[in-house]
Structure 1
């Protein structure tokens, strides 16, 4: 085990399990390595980079492990000059952090009701109601089997029971129920039959590429646009997303961007020797 771990643990215990609230600041120095200060902000940022994989660790254990890692990093980095390759990674990370901060600034700006209303009207302003169907079916291999099932239904047999006993389709175990669907969602012959049926009517035998169907129309309804409240959160997220996209496009248009066309072979992106020391 790294011999720095007991030292880090000792420092932590010396500070106490619960620091005064005024000390819980990002610039609070929690350790030093020579002239290098490791702050609570460094600890918190490194912990954030670990994501959810460490959520189950006790806070003390996690704190100790993160601090120990930061100390190890500091002693390895001490006195080392930033080389060309290292600077490339540092540049990318710096830009990434600053871009993330810019995005957070945009996300923290409140979404106004008028923006949500405008997004709702754009999405659903031209909404046209259309029919939906709720149907069940029994799928069998031959027309004769389908005709026999229709005869049984006409004599009072239960549709769901016949479906469970006879249907070869995946909906058989659930009594043949297909749920709600709209025009064009089923194969043409099936779709046409359903659209011409009355509620509770039986149709068939209807042939499709899957076999022969006996169909029961359970119910119909007209689709309706969701209310504003039902989609408010979704629309607010859309407004935020568009806000970020628009900001990026605005800044790109204002920036002096030059791309060196045909300057490199794109396949070189997969060549690790580009970053060879």
Structure 2
């Protein structure tokens, strides 16, 4: 049904491409409740048309205003004619409308929250909290040789101690084929980018030092810390989009916590429903 409704919208626009004479202008200024057409006594309003136009695909919104006006009106008229052909509203439609109303109202509240919260001062505060106060991030440049067992790792250490090249051994024995082909080099990385045991070993080394065998879920590593550096903090403009998202999310979360604390919410007891019941569309098939 949804696919058919969308098709009706497109068909209406296409059929109206030639346009037709616009109705005479109203003596009063038009508003959202201004009636533009009726179908079997049901009013179609200007506000409904404005919403319908805003939901059209972008390519249709670029059509001339007269084409859009007649096309959108035809779309709503056709939809109302189809809707009137039903003897009663199907249960699933009634439920879907309830959900849609709830979602739209929640969206309006969220928009209001965001509009009030998204100020330059709030963005600067988040930038100071998350970027400036933390200071420059430290980055590491390391190489490793990965093998399957501790015995193999100790054997690699022995060969290095005997004078063999770390880079050559990485190419020969490392099971990490990507870094192994580059002499074990992992390049630059920041904190949180490696698994915890590996990162802890790297952070305990001085530049130029090599670790004892380190075990992770990938196997056993021999690690060399090549160098460290401090990453320059990004400017506010560089991370503006991320900061705005943080302000939005913080404001929404804060307000939602307030509303949830004040709301009288009753949930079903544990086990009251079989979770798989949500896939039973037969319950709303009437």
- TM-score bucket of the superposed structures, by smaller chain: 0.5 to 0.7
Give the number of aligned pairs. 259
Q: 2:71 and 2:169 mapped to 1: Cα distance? A: 64
Other-structure match for 2:25: none
Q: Confirm or deny that 1:176 pairs with 2:184.
A: yes
Q: How much does 1:11 deviate?
A: 7.3
- Which runs of no fewer than 5 residues in structure 1 stay unpaired? 17-22
SS of aligned partner of 1:266: coil
Q: 1:140 and 1:110 mapped to 2: Cα distance? A: 52
- Which runs of no fewer than 5 residues in structure 2 stay unpaired? 1-6, 23-28
SS of aligned partner of 2:207: coil
Q: Confirm or deny that 1:272 pairs with 2:281.
A: yes
Residues 1:194 and 1:39: Cα distance change in structure 2 (over 3 Å): same
Q: 1:231 and 1:7 mapped to 2: Cα distance? A: 41
Higher mean displacement: 133-142 or 188-197: 188-197
Q: 2:220 and 2:267 mapped to 1: Cα distance? A: 62
Q: Confirm or deny that 1:250 pairs with 2:262.
A: no
SS of aligned partner of 2:225: strand
TM-score normalised by L of structure 2: 0.60
Q: 1:90 and 1:251 mapped to 2: Cα distance? A: 24
SS of aligned partner of 2:228: strand
Q: 2:114 aligns with which of 107, 113, 116?
A: 107
1:1-277 aligned at under 5 Å gives the runs 5=11, 9-10=15-16, 13-14=19-20, 33-38=39-44, 41-43=47-49, 45-46=51-52, 49=55, 54-55=57-58, 59-60=62-63, 69-78=75-84, 83=89, 85=91, 86-109=93-116, 111-120=118-127, 123=130, 127=134, 132-139=139-146, 142=152, 143=155, 147=159, 151-153=163-165, 159=167, 163=170, 167-169=174-176, 170-178=178-186, 179-182=188-191, 185=194, 188=197, 192=201, 195-199=204-208, 203=210, 206=213, 215-222=223-230, 230-255=238-263, 257=264, 259=266, 261-262=268-269, 265-267=272-274, 268-277=277-286
RMSD: 5.1
Q: How much does 1:106 deviate?
A: 2.0
Q: Is the 8 A contact 2:44 2:76 kept in 1?
A: yes
SS of aligned partner of 2:20: helix
TM-score normalised by L of structure 1: 0.61
Q: How much does 1:269 deviate?
A: 4.3
Residues 1:194 and 1:106: Cα distance change in structure 2 (over 3 Å): closer
Q: Is the 8 A contact 1:116 1:235 kept in 2?
A: yes
Q: 1:113 and 1:7 mapped to 2: Cα distance? A: 42
